[in-house]
Structure 1
Amino acid sequence: MKTQTYFRYIFSFVLVLLFAGKSLAQTADTTVSITVQGLCVMCKDRIEKAAKGKGVSFAEWSAETKLLKLTFNPKSTTLDKIENRIVAVGHDIGEKKANNAVYEDLPACCHYRDGSGEALMNGSSNGPLIQGVVLEENDKGAFKPLQGASVQWLGTTQGTVTNEQGVFSLHQHSGADQIVISYTGFKSDTIAINPQEAVMVVMAKNGTLQEVKVTARQRSLYISTTNAFRTQVMTEKELYKAACCNLSESFETNPSVDVSFTDAVTGSKQIQLLGLSGNYTQLTVENLPGPRGLATPMGLNYIPGTWVESIQLTKGAGSVANGFESIAGRINVEMKKPETAEKLYANVYVNSMGKTDINLNLAQKVGKQWSTELLLHDAFLYNNMDFNKDMYRDLPTGNLFTALNRWKYEGTNGWMTQFGAKVLTDRKVGGDMNFKANPHRGSTHMYGLGFNTDRYEGFAKIGYVFPEKKYQSIGLQLSGFDHKQDSYFGTTTYNAKQQNFYANLIYQSIINNTNHKFRTGLSYVHDKYHETLNAQHFQRTEAVPGAFFEYTYEYLTKFSVVAGIRADHNSLFGWFATPRVHLRYQPFSNTTVRLSVGRGQRTANIIAENTAVLVSARQFEILGTQNGKAYGLNPEVAWNKGISIDQKFKLFSRDASLGIDFFRNDFTQQVVVDMEDPRKTSFYNLDGKSYSNSFQTELNFSPLYKFDVRLAYRLFDVKSTYDGKLLEKPLLSRHRAFANLAYEKNGWKFDFTINYNSSKRIPSTASNPSALVQPTQSPDYVLMNAQISKTLSGKKPLEIYLGGENLGNYFQQNAIVDPMNPFGSYFDASLIWGPITGRMIYAGFRFKIK
């Protein structure tokens, strides 16, 4: 009996297990993630609602990753059925494509296929980048990020959504200065935005928006984590950290770029990137050719700082769409736009040397679709300064005036046009403190130099976005200039003229979807040069037609590749190809790794790019052997390779970043500028090795609120073959350490920058008389700059500033070799390794009417 009872119990228990197992099998859920195409918060709601049908217990879609996380019961439904429901409402999943009619009925910001929705979400790349965070307050008064909140410019369809950290970023829409923040279950609110500051918005417990608190600020200098090109953006806020009278002074707070005088008399400045002179850095203005060719030595002075909205700095090879000349990198200057600039912006700057800059910007909207802008700049110095008491003016005196007028038309039918014209005149005289152009010019009674430059520029951009296929667009860029320069250096005369025309036709579209994009086009560059150096005449015409193709692939936010190639035909040098590849990989959300490799080619303008050697008794020797080429020399060709790692993290409970990059340039062809013989400067084709290695690490953090610290260290290893000997590049610091401190408090801004520069190799002067022999190495030195500014609040803000450069009053003694005999055999003002002016104090104000 007991045995039967036991069997009965066992049998019952087995039945229970069987039924329970069957029940468990029926209710066991499966969790998967699938990629669903979409863009905005409306896409998120639509996708999740379509997914949440029978058998689905959880569905969450991310606009940032495009991933939909699903939990469903496979006995109640199938993944195929869920996908079909999502596709039916207009969202593609892999090979499953939504019906075209359904897709077209989606709101404009949801159009993920053609790129138009993405354009609305991201806005114009020309507008300032606005950043902020949206948080939710819980019952305990703590804050947590709110993912998926909608952020949209008021009165437009342009917007974005917050990511998993509650963070959003979008470019400012033309004419808009307010954003609308909304989230399901909370009351929407409209907020005024300052492009220079990011906002923190707290969603309150009762479903309303609390008062907006400005607790985070847009960094004045940042690197995009989503761009395959490692582009460092310097905003207007960064430029305000220094006086920034012109482009040459815009990099004082940037550790990547060196700015130094080329000689002790002309006042010319040059930039250096990756250890190479500015000749190897492509300078563009809104993606059009900037000062180049004859304008190279003075070109940085030709772009006033008050005209600049932002600067984009890219190390290494750039995009093939922008040409073939980028070797060390590319600097693109974005000017202030007529549709977003202040109605009036006035700036006056005066320094202790007597140099004065007066700037006036005027902008006006003309109707609904037109806007115009007039930019005026006048810089003058009439005070003779001689810091080192060598009886030579440290800077030439005279006046530089430039004006720019531009117009922009934004149509409603896909057309956009902008055009403008610029005029510049530069009149300078330098040299001996008592020199006057009349009667001393051309005589050996007194040494002097002078520049008379006239430059006229014009540009136009015409763009069209196809209304039915907004992922397709076509644009035409046109520009041209006429540059004439008459100059003299003692008894040496250099007169030159350059006429340039540039055209670039760009067509861009997608391949199947926005993960595969391309742009292709045709370009044409035409330069006509006529130079006279004393009795020598150099004339050439370079016509370079070309074509390019660039493909971009993006996989979610983790990986992207940009591969481009262009083919060009130079009328002097024949056909050549320019391949370039850029890779970006994010193994983790806060880690970005980039690799790049590319070829660059340029024609050296050996006289204009080396006018510093004209301020000396050196003979100008050109060892070119091939007729029909520029000066008989080959073009310069180099391969650039680079790797960088950018890491974001928290330090002192605030955002911080660490960047490390290494770039190497290898020249296969180069025009060597050989100054190793103090009696001459020789120019000849490279015969041997020439390379540059550049390593840099940069740390940005904020130990206190509104207190930003930037620390950097850079190492250069740059060598070239001079007359069969591999030597270190002269007048270049191997080591540089940098620190910038910036603090804001109640409208006050304090900025301090310190630079350490290690010793530099000085070209040999051993064959000079013993009294005129220079050391072979310069000393190390430190430079310090500081500025204090105060913004007076109001509808018409006024900012006043006071600053100083070279506060330690360090300058190069004996900057000129044999200054008492300027017409002798040993006179040389080109061996400059440090500052030529001492401490300088400046003051000014900025006044704006928006």
Structure 2
Amino acid sequence: MNTYIKSFLLVFFSFLTITLYAQSDSTTTFDVAGNCGMCKQRIEKAAKLPGVEHAEWNLQTHKVTVKYNSKKVKLAQIQQAIANAGHDNSGYRAPDEVYEKLHECCFYDRPNFGNKEDHVHDDHDDHTGNNHQNEQNKETHDDHADHDHEHIITGVVVNENQKADLSPIANVNVKWLEGPQSSTTTNENGVFKIKHDKGNKNLVFSFAGMQADTIEVKNLHEVLVVHAQNNVLSEVVVSRRKKSNYINALSANRAEILTAQELFKAACCDLSESFETTVSVDVVSNDAVTGSKQIQLLGLSGIYTQLTVENLPGPRGFATPLGLNSIAGTWIESIEISKGIGSVVNGYENMAGQINVELKKPHNSERLYFNTYVNNMGRTDVNLNLAQKINEKWSVGLLLHDNFMYNKNMNFSNNGFRDIPVGNLFSGINRWHYENGKGTIAQFGVKYLKDNRTGGKVDFNKSLDKGDTKVYGLGFDNERIEGFAKIGYVFPKNRLRSIGFLVSASNYIQDSYFGIRNYNSEQTNGYANLIFQDIIGSVAHKYKVGASLTYDKYNENIESNVFDRSESVTGVFVEYTYSPNEKMDVVLGLREDYNSLYGWFTTPRLVARYNPFTGNTIRFSTGRGQRTANIFAENLSMLASSRAINYAELQNQNNAYGLKPEVSWNTGITLDQNFQLFGRESGLSVELFHNNFQNQVVIDWENPRTVSIYNLEGKSYSNSVQAEFRFMPAPHFEARMAYRLLDVQTDYKSGKLQKPLTAKHRGFINLAYNLHSGWSFDYTFNTVGSKRIPSTLGNPDQYQLAANSDAYITMNAQISKSFGVNKNFTIYVGGENLSNTYQKDPILAAEQPFGQHFDTNLLWGPLTGRMFYSGIRYHIK
């Protein structure tokens, strides 16, 4: 560990000694949001500060190229000036009050268009210097695309004088040359909306004192801008498209963003189902009876991935096994997946990566959003989101989710056990948003979860059979309540300086039973994080400093064994970011924490991004992570078997079971290359990550009669290699293909073995075809390689399994259709596991659930077969 720290400090001070020999003349390009020619004029005018020789904004790429004298003006000043004019950019977010006063045509999509300076007041702040950028990519125009259907065309008519100033023209007549004679006029802002009926091809514009012109209708699903110059009307078409799944090009960490549009490609009823269209994250069932799932990143269990909700702790500790089911998919605005080591600002627990979930905010989401879902397995989901802007400062939102599972006889393998427990899960969030326009933003609210489910044999009756050995059953009665708040302040005279405070508190109670084995637990958690950020001289040198506190009180009762402990971790951190230009970022972080059970520990981390040439991004990351294992809650499935838990190696005292904390070092390198293929944007990504563990808590399943838990004595590591190819074979048609290779090995007491129930190989294809008429078609194909099955050689012959599982494939598909002028009503139908692949024998010794060979933990494939679903979505903006 000392070697790692010394190496880190050497790199740290090496970067600090990089001198400031910047050339006077600099040329840079960065993203700026906008829609039309008026935006172009406004952006270029704002950028031309003293010292700026040239500024040009491109309508198609949404990038501005600026040539300036760095001794007279700084890049941050240029970006700030553009933001003050109303346009979000890769440096700053425009003030809301300025954005809202822009011309009607200039209202660009901004919920995720980021603020690289990562002000704590921004709703998408992740405190890593890397915001969720809603990248607006180059659009390829295709004159032959099929647009001949009914829809609403939106446009604006502006006048351009000799100085190139633009001003809207009201009362311009707009009508179709042929077909139905629909007509309209522009409003006071020069904006018009006209219905496009099938067969219409040409629009006629006329205005007193100007020569009329006829414009052919081509790709008009975005904004049609009609310029009047020299008393002649002519057209300019501005078209832009957002990806539903993209890599944040400007973040130092490689962050994959899944937008709400991406989540619509599947039913996505809860967070555990939100990763079906990405290869980065695996979601697997923990066992064959509890219905609990876990995420896997880099081939490692979900406990090594830091799960946060708006950069506050997500379900953790005792809430981990069933926590993915508690966050409804319809609540989610976006998901950011960052593999490898993350920022020290977010804590010390990140080992394999971080998944941050951004929920819908009351001040910028739909006033009403309703979703209902039902499938042929007896599951029904109902979701209702409500948001109301009370006044200019206050907004309030309510997010509700109710899940019903009532098919008691669902049993694909015909082994007499319910594949999924039945019951009800209800969760809700009430949140408030405050912004005074003077630099202060606050968010706060409460969350509530109630989960009551019963599983086991199909004929199990809780009121009659619980605690008896006649019929095997299991059940959960979980309740969680949480309060949270985020407060930020940006200094008005120096918007690069800000301070933020994040705080949350929660209580989680679980009462559960597995046959005649009981497990009851309670966790009380408190969290606080104070962050201050500023620059050193110029925007090229940024820093963050702060302090955090995490407190957990754990009470567990498992098979009459009591394990109680209180654990607090207090720490301080500093993070320095060196950004000499738009091509390079280096982030160096260091934090020092004191754990009340284990004492002091140091967490160094380094992340770097470099763009050697256009379209190419190379990233490197390395650092340390540490966590305390909650061995029973995180491996709850061990109770759903007859395996004896080896308590002899555990200590029943006021610490974490007598085990050492887990430590890992993660190193990764990624390469992203964008290019044109078939005249359309395409990309290739390659990533390599290595995790090396110390003191890992090993869950040893290699004896079929027992499960042993102990600290690692030897080596444990994971290697992950992934390649992904993205392209557009035709207009509106997106394709992604990927392959991943995992090598995860651990030294058990019986020798070095590949991690059980983890596929070494995985292939992935996702196809999406979207029409502006409201039709969407999505298809996902997965091929999963063979997995090693824990040894069953100690069992009688009839209860012995093969050493490795079969490889298998799954296919999911969905078709959706949106209706209405605003496309606010959607019907969707789909199917999952269309190949009908499922494990035929998911439970060992199912006929003797109270016998010594009963085991539900050897699940290597899908638990259920082919499933069909349907649903509706409706929203009011």
Q: Normalising TM by the smaller chain, what interval? A: 0.7 to 0.9
CA 1:625–1:453 in structure 2 vs 1: closer, same or farther (change >3 Å)? Answer: closer
Q: Deviations over 1:505-537 (max 9, x none)?
A: 111111111111111111000000000001100
What one-letter code is carried by the residue in structure 2 that aligns with 1:521?
Answer: G
Q: Following the alignment from structure 1 to structure 2, what is the Cα–Cα distance between the partners of residues 178 and 267?
A: 51
User: Residue in 2 aligned with 1:827?
Assistant: 854
Q: Following the alignment from structure 2 to structure 1, what is the Cα–Cα distance between the partners of residues 155 and 532?
A: 33
User: Residue in 2 aligned with 1:598?
Assistant: 623
What one-letter code is carried by the residue in structure 2 that aligns with 1:662?
Answer: L
CA 1:790–1:774 in structure 2 vs 1: closer, same or farther (change >3 Å)? Answer: same
Answer yes or no: is 1:60 the counterpart of 2:82: no
User: Residue in 2 aligned with 1:398?
Assistant: 423
User: Residue in 1 aligned with 2:797?
Assistant: 770
What one-letter code is carried by the residue in structure 2 that aligns with 1:721?
Answer: D
CA 1:646–1:613 in structure 2 vs 1: closer, same or farther (change >3 Å)? Answer: same
Of the three residues 128, 150, 159, the one matched with 2:111 is 128
Q: Following the alignment from structure 1 to structure 2, what is the Cα–Cα distance between the partners of residues 182 and 263?
A: 67
CA 1:389–1:546 in structure 2 vs 1: closer, same or farther (change >3 Å)? Answer: same
User: Residue in 2 aligned with 1:657?
Assistant: 683
Contact 1:66 1:556 in 2 (8 A): no
Q: Deviations over 1:209-264 (max 9, x none)?
A: 96675754211000111110100000000000000000000000010111111110
Q: CA deviation at 1:551?
A: 1.0
Runs of 4+ in 1 over 4 A off after TM superposition: 36-52, 61-67, 103-108, 114-127, 162-167, 177-184, 188-193, 197-216, 625-628
User: Residue in 2 aligned with 1:638?
Assistant: 664
CA 1:595–1:126 in structure 2 vs 1: closer, same or farther (change >3 Å)? Answer: farther
CA 1:202–1:695 in structure 2 vs 1: closer, same or farther (change >3 Å)? Answer: farther
Answer yes or no: is 1:456 the counterpart of 2:481: yes
Answer yes or no: is 1:703 the counterpart of 2:694: no
Task: Give TM-score scaled by structure 1 length.
Answer: 0.82
Relative to structure 2, which stretch is displaced further, 37-46 or 804-813?
37-46
Bigger Rg, structure 1 or 2? 1
CA 1:344–1:210 in structure 2 vs 1: closer, same or farther (change >3 Å)? Answer: farther
Please show how residues 382-781 of structure 1 align to structure 2 within 5 Å. 382-384=406-408, 385-622=410-647, 623-624=649-650, 628-745=654-771, 746-781=773-808
Contact 1:421 1:459 in 2 (8 A): yes
Contact 1:816 1:831 in 2 (8 A): yes
Q: Deviations over 1:83-129 (max 9, x none)?
A: 6xx97xxx4269xx99xxxx9997872899x9996655999999534
Contact 2:83 2:93 in 1 (8 A): no
CA 1:49–1:586 in structure 2 vs 1: closer, same or farther (change >3 Å)? Answer: closer
Secondary structure in 2 matching 1:238: helix
Answer yes or no: is 1:801 the counterpart of 2:828: yes
Of the three residues 72, 92, 97, the one matched with 2:73 is 92
CA 1:418–1:212 in structure 2 vs 1: closer, same or farther (change >3 Å)? Answer: farther
Answer yes or no: is 1:351 the counterpart of 2:375: yes
User: Residue in 2 aligned with 1:298?
Assistant: 322
Contact 1:201 1:210 in 2 (8 A): no
What one-letter code is carried by the residue in structure 2 that aligns with 1:764?
Answer: S
Contact 1:741 1:753 in 2 (8 A): yes
Q: Following the alignment from structure 1 to structure 2, what is the Cα–Cα distance between the partners of residues 693 and 38?
A: 36
User: Residue in 2 aligned with 1:310?
Assistant: 334
Identical amino acids, percent of aligned pairs: 48
Mind listing any 5+ residue stretches in structure 1 that lack a counterpart? 1-31, 53-58, 70-82, 132-159, 168-176
Q: Following the alignment from structure 1 to structure 2, what is the Cα–Cα distance between the partners of residues 347 and 163?
A: 28
Q: CA deviation at 1:413?
A: 2.2
Aligned residues: 747
Q: Following the alignment from structure 1 to structure 2, what is the Cα–Cα distance between the partners of residues 524 and 130?
A: 31
Secondary structure in 2 matching 1:588: coil
Secondary structure in 2 matching 1:301: helix
Answer yes or no: is 1:219 the counterpart of 2:243: yes
CA 1:126–1:307 in structure 2 vs 1: closer, same or farther (change >3 Å)? Answer: farther
Q: Deviations over 1:744-802 (max 9, x none)?
A: 12211010101000100000001101011011100010000000000002347210000
Q: Following the alignment from structure 1 to structure 2, what is the Cα–Cα distance between the partners of residues 337 and 569?
A: 35
Q: CA deviation at 1:464?
A: 1.1
Secondary structure in 1 matching 2:657: helix
Q: Deviations over 1:14-70 (max 9, x none)?
A: xxxxxxxxxxxxxxxxxx970389998778558869679xxxxxx53468787637x
Q: Following the alignment from structure 2 to structure 1, what is the Cα–Cα distance between the partners of residues 435 and 323?
A: 31
Contact 1:116 1:471 in 2 (8 A): no
CA 1:530–1:179 in structure 2 vs 1: closer, same or farther (change >3 Å)? Answer: farther
Q: CA deviation at 1:556?
A: 1.8
CA 1:512–1:477 in structure 2 vs 1: closer, same or farther (change >3 Å)? Answer: same
Please show how residues 143-182 of structure 1 align to structure 2 within 5 Å. none
User: Residue in 1 aligned with 2:166?
Assistant: 187
Q: CA deviation at 1:631?
A: 0.7
Q: CA deviation at 1:806?
A: 0.6
Secondary structure in 2 matching 1:597: strand
Q: CA deviation at 1:465?
A: 1.2
Relative to structure 2, which stretch is displaced further, 184-193 or 422-431?
184-193
User: Residue in 1 aligned with 2:845?
Assistant: 818
CA 1:698–1:128 in structure 2 vs 1: closer, same or farther (change >3 Å)? Answer: farther
Q: Following the alignment from structure 1 to structure 2, what is the Cα–Cα distance between the partners of residues 111 and 349?
A: 40
CA 1:511–1:830 in structure 2 vs 1: closer, same or farther (change >3 Å)? Answer: same
What one-letter code is carried by the residue in structure 1 that aligns with 2:810?
Answer: L
CA 1:651–1:617 in structure 2 vs 1: closer, same or farther (change >3 Å)? Answer: same
User: Residue in 1 aligned with 2:353?
Assistant: 329
Contact 2:704 2:791 in 1 (8 A): yes
CA 1:118–1:827 in structure 2 vs 1: closer, same or farther (change >3 Å)? Answer: closer
Of the three residues 381, 387, 391, the one matched with 1:367 is 391
* Cα RMSD after superposing both structures: 3.4
Secondary structure in 2 matching 1:587: coil
User: Residue in 2 aligned with 1:238?
Assistant: 262
Secondary structure in 2 matching 1:655: strand
Answer yes or no: is 1:378 the counterpart of 2:402: yes
Secondary structure in 2 matching 1:687: coil
Contact 2:228 2:234 in 1 (8 A): no
Q: CA deviation at 1:204?
A: 5.7
Q: Following the alignment from structure 1 to structure 2, what is the Cα–Cα distance between the partners of residues 708 and 726?
A: 42
Q: Following the alignment from structure 2 to structure 1, what is the Cα–Cα distance between the partners of residues 828 and 529?
A: 41
Answer yes or no: is 1:846 the counterpart of 2:873: yes
Q: Following the alignment from structure 1 to structure 2, what is the Cα–Cα distance between the partners of residues 383 and 481?
A: 32
User: Residue in 1 aligned with 2:11?
Assistant: none
Q: CA deviation at 1:496?
A: 0.3
User: Residue in 2 aligned with 1:782?
Assistant: 809
Q: CA deviation at 1:471?
A: 1.4
Q: Following the alignment from structure 1 to structure 2, what is the Cα–Cα distance between the partners of residues 267 and 840?
A: 16
CA 1:50–1:520 in structure 2 vs 1: closer, same or farther (change >3 Å)? Answer: closer
Q: Following the alignment from structure 2 to structure 1, what is the Cα–Cα distance between the partners of residues 875 and 264?
A: 14
